[in-house]
């Protein structure tokens, strides 16, 4: 889960702790140290006496594995009601890999996707996708949605028509870019109904 959350970009200890409710600080410290010793993450100084954790190249290579595990897991009913995480860093790797599965070399987009008002800076160019948990500096389009419907489209429990009609709002920018982003996202998730 820590690797999954770090796919959203560098994070402070407190950011990681908030996305894993109930984890004791000493257990989180132990897990971070283990991932560091395996060469999957590194700790770095972010200035102002703040440290952040980030993926190494080896850690970054886990994206497709994490995406496939999530897709596999979505076939099974959860043992309990799904609870929204403390922050939505958790969805960055899924967004990235879904988009990467659908883009072409000619796609070029800069999108700010707001999920329950939490921003994701999404950049698509030259067949590559970057998804970071932050505001976009210069988006071509800003799109807003909510966590629960996004899960439903990703788990193939909602049609793309219903998702687009009832759960997506283009806040600003190019309608053409918004439409292309939406097509890529639902195609990457498996093209729900």
* Structural domain boundaries in the chain: 2-61, 88-188
Identify the pLDDT of residue 193: 36
CA–CA dist 80, 96 (Å, integer): 27
The structure tokens listed for 142 are 């800003």
The set of residues, in sequence order, having a beta carbon less than 8 Å from that of 124 and lying 6+ positions away, is 99, 103, 107, 108, 109, 110, 111, 130, 184
Identify the pLDDT of residue 75: 78
Per CATH, which fold does 88-188 belong to? Nonspecific Lipid-transfer Protein; Chain A (3.30.1050)
Identify the pLDDT of residue 192: 38
Identify the pLDDT of residue 142: 96
CATH 3.40.50.1380 for the 2-61 domain, yes or no: no
Mean pLDDT by 10 residues, the chain (193 residues): 92 88 91 97 91 95 88 75 76 89 93 95 94 95 92 80 89 92 83 40
């Amino acid at each position: 889960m820590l690797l999954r959350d770090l796919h959203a970009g560098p994070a402070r200890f407190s950011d990681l702790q908030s996305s894993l409710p109930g984890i004791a600080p000493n257990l989180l410290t132990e897990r971070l140290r283990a991932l560091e010793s395996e060469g999957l993450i590194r700790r770095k100084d972010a200035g102002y006496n703040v440290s952040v954790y980030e993926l190494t190249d080896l850690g970054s290579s886990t994206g497709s594995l994490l995406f496939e595990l999530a897709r596999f897991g979505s076939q099974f009913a959860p043992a309990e009601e799904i609870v929204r995480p403390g922050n939505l860093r958790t969805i960055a790797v899924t967004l990235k890999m879904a988009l990467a599965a659908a883009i072409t070399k000619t796609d070029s987009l800069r999108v700010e996707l707001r999920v329950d008002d939490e921003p994701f800076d999404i950049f698509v160019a030259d067949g590559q996708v970057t998804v970071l948990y932050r505001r976009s500096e210069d988006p071509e389009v800003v799109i807003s949605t909510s966590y629960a419907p996004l899960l439903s489209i990703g788990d193939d429990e909602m049609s793309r028509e219903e998702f687009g009609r009832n759960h997506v709002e283009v806040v600003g920018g190019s309608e053409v870019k918004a439409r292309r982003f939406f097509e890529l996202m639902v195609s990457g998730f498996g093209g729900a109904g």
